[in-house]
Structure 1
Amino acid sequence: MNPVHSRLQVRYGETDRMGIVYYANYLTYFEVGRTDFFRSHGLHYAALEDQGLLAPCVEVSCRYLRPARYGQELALATALTAMSGARLVFSYSLTLPGDNSLLATGQTVHAWVDRSGRPLAVKKHYPEVWSRLQELVSEVKHEESAPGGGG
């Protein structure tokens, strides 16, 4: 079930004068992937935030391999690749669906905090969320250790 796949359409306003996607817009694509990831696993950002569980991005990286262009359809794979008591890590892979050309890869690191911005012990205060996300991270680790798996 991990990773979650999203389809994106490059809009004109996301491109620069050269007709390629402006670099910062890849971070918006990653946000779409995270939202789709949570939703596909029965978790919703708004509901988590209403409960006082926040996960702001504290670190981001993106490696641009080939440009995405106006009008192209893009395929984004989003996976939860690590989680600890204080943080969770998502990895992203952006491709062209027709030939699977890799356009960009990235990663975001998020901190678990409460509404006041203080670190939050998710395992203690939100055990059902913790358990569900741990299952998803375990799926990734199992796939990577399987014969022929990545990693």
Structure 2
Amino acid sequence: MNIIPYHRRANYYETDQMSIVHHTNYIRYFEEARIDFMRQIGCDCRKLEEMGAIIPVVDAYARYHKSLHFDEEFQVNIRLEKFNGSRMEFSYEIRFPDTGELAVSGHTSHCFVDEQQKPFSVKHRFPEIYRRMMSALSPQPVTA
């Protein structure tokens, strides 16, 4: 599946006293890209929540390579690395689109829970969501 990278500019309010984007905002950028990714594959997060499927973050990690500044354009490349119906993991690369230079890399892990916060698998409850997620799963490299 061909996913279009998420593009935007850094806002002034996201910067700190050193005029760089504060480190906490990169996790927000991951979330924005993930919501966009889900929309692109036909799994709108708002509709999922209305259906009773909530997708909390279980783990988040970011490694900072180069700072973003106010009004700089960036893109977030996102991949669905793992998915088994109840858990999933995304990887992210925030890059400068003009140069391709890496600003931040990271990953997040998630699970599906119902409105009572009980984990469940979408495989049987929402088979179409399962199919779409499986089709968006990034191919894993072959190891020798």
TM range (shorter): over 0.9
Runs of 4+ in 1 over 6 A off after TM superposition: none
Query: Counterpart in 1 of 2:75?
Result: 75
Q: Which has the higher helix share?
A: 1
Q: What SS is found at the alignment partner of 2:5?
A: strand
Query: Counterpart in 2 of 1:57?
Result: 57
- Cα deviation for residue 85 of structure 1 reads 3.3
Query: Counterpart in 2 of 1:92?
Result: 92
Query: Counterpart in 2 of 1:34?
Result: 34
Give the length in aligned residue pairs. Answer: 142
Once the two structures are superposed, what CA deviation does each residue of 1:43-79 show, in whole Å capped at 9, x if it has no partner?
2111000000111001000000111111100011111
Return 5+ residue gaps in structure 1 as ranges.
Answer: 146-151
CA distance, structure 1, for counterparts of residue 70 and residue 63 of structure 2: 19
Amino acid at match of 2:103: L
- Cα deviation for residue 2 of structure 1 reads 4.2
Query: Counterpart in 2 of 1:141?
Result: 139
Query: Counterpart in 2 of 1:110?
Result: 110
Query: Counterpart in 1 of 2:14?
Result: 14
Return 5+ residue gaps in structure 2 as ranges.
Answer: none
Identity of aligned residues (%): 32
Q: Given the two structures, how large is their TM-score scaled by the length of structure 2? A: 0.94
CA distance, structure 1, for counterparts of residue 131 and residue 87 of structure 2: 14
